[in-house]
Amino acid sequence: MPDSLHSTPAISPDNHRDRADEETFAMIRRELFTAVIGDVMDAAGLTSQFLSPQLRPLRPDMIVVGRAMPVLEADCGDPHVAHEGAQKPFGLMMEALDDLKPGEIYICSGASPRYALWGALMSARAIRLGAAGAVVDGYSRDTREVAKLPHFPTFSWGSYGQDQGVRGRVIDYRCTIRFSNGTVVRPGDLIVGDIDGVLAVPSEHAAGILAAAAAKVRGENKVQAAIEAGMSAKHAYDTFGIM
């Protein structure tokens, strides 16, 4: 019988995928940015991948990179009238939050801009689970507390303290969602966000898009060096095909 103390532990496909994701996410943070990824997707015919233009990081230096865990929100009726979900005022929000996996992003749409979709206690739970960040198609609250968290990038339309408890609830998660500008996000899509916005790279296109984006960055660096050395914009574009 093999000595179990010296046997090699089995490596599951999930471990391989998680390690590959970590390496990919690190490369994106180190080398890429949303504008260049968006340019490459345009060239590939993926022309509607930026999420709502109102999305902004709570701090300008925040960068979010991870896999989408989409969450669907819906408005309730008159907050002065007990609604059907009175015994469960947040709907499936707790279940969705608790289902976050390492490297995933809580990404939510479907609500009207009447209340906040994210806050400090949700951030604390997401951090504990190893989530990569939050992107909500609406407002967030507890802004000072959330912005202090060094490793939890949060993107929203801005700050608004009104609670969702009597105004909206999560009705589904790990489902396909649509943002207010029409962009569709599916479970497992690659999400990248920085000061210029947030975009979704369909998972089946991610490897090719990232390789092309890295090549474009290298080309842009050459163009910048040429322009700084005195080359005209037209000559640079004619030479490199990049601007």
- Per-residue pLDDT reduced to its tens digit, 173-198: 999 999 999 999 999 999 999 999 99
Which domain range does residue 37 map to? 23-47+202-243
pLDDT tens per residue, range 61-78: 999 999 999 999 999 876
- State what percent of residues in the chain have pLDDT above 70: 89
DSSP E strand boundaries for 43-151 = 56-57, 64-75, 104-109, 116-118, 133-136, 139-140
Of the two residues 105 and 232, the one the predictor is more confident about is 105
Lowest mean pLDDT, pick from 106-115, 122-131, 140-149, 230-239: 230-239
Is 31 found in the same domain as 71?
Answer: no
CB 100 within 8 A of CB 126: yes
Q: What's the predicted TM-score (pTM) here?
A: 0.86
Q: How many domains does the chain have?
A: 2
Average pLDDT rounded to a whole number, residues 7-32: 74
Q: Does any domain span residue 1?
A: no
Predicted pLDDT of residue 236: 83
Report yes or no on 2 lying in a domain: no
Residue 136 in domain? yes
User: Measuring CA to CA, which residue among 193, 74, 91 is closest to residue 134?
Assistant: 193
Confidence (pLDDT) at 37: 98
What CATH number is attached to the domain comprising 172? 3.50.30.40
Q: Could you tell me the pLDDT band of residue 15, with boundaries at 50, 70 and 90?
A: low
